[in-house]
């Protein structure tokens, strides 16, 4: 939801549906703020604060409603040093946290970063490094969902080598528990025991993330001596979702649906490893890319300073739209309110997928709603005012939109458009799969606008759309287009079938 006042806070990274092509997060950290509930030493006050926890000491940092805990390097290198970040309430943020040192505290205290909001409330955890892991037989999860009754977004986090749970977020789904939900975006989870990422409440989802387990020998055992390094685990409830994730697990379960009736859906994912239990597969293939997402910090110092980096740990700087040349099927859609508008709403539906853009003056916010309709479409809604707006990355086609054009300016792919120009309700599919080795060429003319549609068919160099004319060639494949108006003329040479669906 875009804020209706001038004090809008913009966030520092963007979400694309293909995690291989993210915009890169700025490397400069905000000024250091005082530690919550702790004395500390300052390494560089202009960048981040270092908190060194002495041997055998456990320290708790409480973060309540409206508070932000950020730009901290928490050093637990000393023997038996441990920490907890305990979040509560609504509107809190935990940001730019790097944990240095391997956790070797074997007490019965569960969890390090507790991700929990009050019922109806929200919280945000972003840019966190928990990649130094835990020693053998330590009973701590890196991220814990215990007590969450609201919705918590966790993004750009690195969790690796934890012996008893990487991201344990299913507990609110246990019958009688708090029922809070989670969105995990752009996580890098590697070689964690029991599960790398586990969700368990209906409406929770994992997006654009990488999970990699190099085999049982690469993980440390939990407090009971067990090793069972699942990749993604859908547990407790149904309606769980993983979208556009890369999962590779050697010698163990890559994705599991089960445990008190847990069930989930893999959508547009690449998986190498076994898929077991109650898991629905939608466009799931092999050959995952387990390179860490570019927005994920690769060291404790980088996280504390607000930096992200590639697999070599180098930091990155923001890119421009030109750097996204590999993302032709993903388009930025912006909605900007008029300066004199107050609390104006919008809603649009996409046949395909949508991800929030979280960078820039017109970034989307946590409260903006993206609802999966269960039929291949998603509906997005939000509120804006005072010249602010929201923006989203769209993969697919916008099939409906409800806005007052007198108070909203719409931009699609950087160009200002009207609702009539934007919404292309009709489908044209040229399908040659009945003759896999035969060539079909075609030309169609439509009275309105037309666009290639990667969700309806392939997109290649032979396809062209210009001034209402569609032309292309297929060899045993399928091409798809969206258009408005009517088909006014066509020619086709070859055995392919043609399907036209007019929804206008």
pLDDT of 500 strictly over 60: yes
Q: Tens digits of per-residue pLDDT, 334-348?
A: 999 998 988 899 999
* Rounded Cα distance, 196 and 286, in Å: 19
Distances (CA, A) of 340 to 4, 5, 19: 11, 11, 37
Lay out the sheet containing 464-466: strands in order across: 464-466, 469-475, 439-446, 487-493
Q: Which of 238-252, 277-291, 469-483 has the lowest mean pLDDT?
A: 469-483
Distances (CA, A) of 169 to 91, 165, 347, 499: 19, 10, 30, 44
pLDDT of 489 strictly over 50: yes
Distances (CA, A) of 192 to 85, 245, 252, 291: 20, 17, 12, 16
SS3 444: strand
Q: Which of 109-113, 184-188, 307-311 has the lowest mean pLDDT?
A: 307-311
Torsion over CA: 133, 279, 329, 334 (sign): negative
Percentage of the chain modeled with pLDDT above 90 = 57
User: Cβ–Cβ contacts within 10 Å for residue 420, how many?
Assistant: 11
pLDDT of 4 strictly over 60: no
Q: Tens digits of per-residue pLDDT, 245-270?
A: 999 999 999 999 999 999 999 999 99
Under the banding of pLDDT at 50, 70 and 90, the label for residue 502 is: confident
pLDDT of 201 strictly over 80: yes
pLDDT of 288 strictly over 80: yes
pLDDT of 321 strictly over 60: no
Give the pLDDT of residue 30. Answer: 27
Give the pLDDT of residue 459. Answer: 65
- Beta bridge partner(s), residue 264: 240, 279
Judge residue 325's burial from the number of C-beta atoms within 10 Å of its C-beta, 0-12 exposed, 13-18 middle, 19 or more buried: exposed
* Rounded Cα distance, 49 and 301, in Å: 10
Higher-pLDDT residue of 25, 198: 198
Average pLDDT, stretch 386-404? 88
- Beta bridge partner(s), residue 459: none
Backbone angles phi, psi at 231, to 5 degrees: -80, -80
Give the pLDDT of residue 92. Answer: 96
Give the pLDDT of residue 359. Answer: 65
Give the pLDDT of residue 36. Answer: 33
Average pLDDT, stretch 326-339? 77
Residue closest to 84 by CA, chosen among 108, 62, 104, 68: 62
* Rounded Cα distance, 411 and 400, in Å: 15
Average pLDDT, stretch 296-311? 82
User: What DSSP line would sit under 157-215, residue for residue?
Assistant: EEEE--SS-SEEE-GGGSTTS---EEEEES-EEES-SSEEEEE-STT-EEES-EEEE--
Under the banding of pLDDT at 50, 70 and 90, the label for residue 450 is: confident
SS3 11: coil
Torsion over CA: 387, 70, 358, 366 (sign): negative
pLDDT of 229 strictly over 60: yes
Give the pLDDT of residue 360. Answer: 67
Q: Which of 5-9, 104-108, 205-209, 375-379 has the lowest mean pLDDT?
A: 5-9
Provide the mean pLDDT of the chain. Answer: 83
């Amino acid at each position: 939801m875009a804020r209706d006042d001038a004090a809008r806070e913009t966030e520092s990274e963007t979400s694309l549906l293909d995690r291989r092509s993210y915009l890169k997060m700025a490397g400069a950290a905000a000024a250091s703020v005082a530690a919550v509930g702790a004395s500390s030493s300052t390494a560089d006050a202009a960048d981040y604060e270092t908190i060194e926890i002495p041997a055998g000491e456990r320290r708790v940092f409480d973060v309540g409603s409206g508070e932000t805990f950020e730009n901290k390097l928490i050093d637990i290198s000393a023997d038996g040093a441990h920490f907890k970040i305990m979040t509560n309430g609504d509107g809190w943020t935990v940001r730019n946290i790097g944990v240095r040192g391997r956790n070797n505290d074997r007490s019965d205290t569960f969890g390090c970063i507790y991700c929990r909001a009050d019922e109806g409330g929200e919280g945000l955890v972003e840019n966190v490094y928990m990649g130094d892991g835990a020693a053998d037989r330590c009973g701590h999860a890196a991220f814990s969902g215990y007590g969450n009754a609201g919705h918590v977004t966790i993004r750009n986090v690195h969790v690796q080598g934890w012996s008893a749970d990487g991201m344990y977020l299913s507990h609110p789904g246990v019958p009688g528990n708090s029922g809070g939900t989670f969105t995990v975006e752009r996580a890098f989870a590697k070689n964690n025991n029991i599960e790398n990422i586990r969700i368990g409440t209906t409406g929770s989802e994992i997006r654009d993330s990488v999970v990699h387990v190099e085999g049982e020998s690469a993980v440390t055992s939990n407090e009971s001596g067990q090793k069972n390094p699942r990749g993604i685990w859908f547990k407790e409830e149904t309606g769980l979702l993983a979208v556009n994730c890369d999962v590779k697990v050697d010698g163990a379960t890559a994705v599991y649906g089960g445990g008190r009736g847990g069930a989930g859906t893999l959508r547009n994912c690449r998986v190498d490893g076994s898929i077991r239990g109650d898991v629905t597969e939608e466009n799931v293939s092999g050959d995952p890319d387990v390179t860490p997402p570019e927005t994920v910090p690769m060291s404790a110092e980088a996280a504390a300073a607000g930096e992200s980096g590639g697999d070599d740990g180098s930091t990155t700087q923001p890119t421009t739209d030109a750097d996204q040349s590999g993302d032709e099927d993903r388009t930025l859609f912006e909605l900007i309110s008029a300066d004199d508008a107050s609390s104006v709403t919008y809603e649009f539906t996409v046949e395909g997928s949508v991800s929030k853009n979280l960078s820039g003056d017109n970034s989307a916010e946590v409260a903006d709603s993206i609802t999966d309709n269960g039929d291949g479409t998603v509906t997005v809604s939000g509120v804006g005012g005072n010249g602010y707006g929201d923006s989203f990355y769209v993969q697919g086609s916008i099939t409906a939109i409800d806005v007052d054009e007198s108070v909203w300016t719409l931009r699609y792919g950087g160009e200002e458009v009207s609702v009539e120009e934007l919404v292309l309700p009709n489908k044209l599919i040229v399908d040659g799969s009945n003759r896999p080795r035969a060539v079909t060429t075609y030309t169609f003319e439509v009275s309105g606008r037309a666009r290639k549609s990667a969700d309806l068919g392939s997109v290649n160099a032979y396809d062209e759309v210009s001034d209402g004319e569609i032309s292309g060639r297929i060899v045993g494949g399928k091409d798809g287009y969206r258009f408005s108006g009517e088909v006014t003329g066509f020619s086709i040479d070859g055995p392919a079938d043609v399907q036209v669906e007019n929804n206008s």
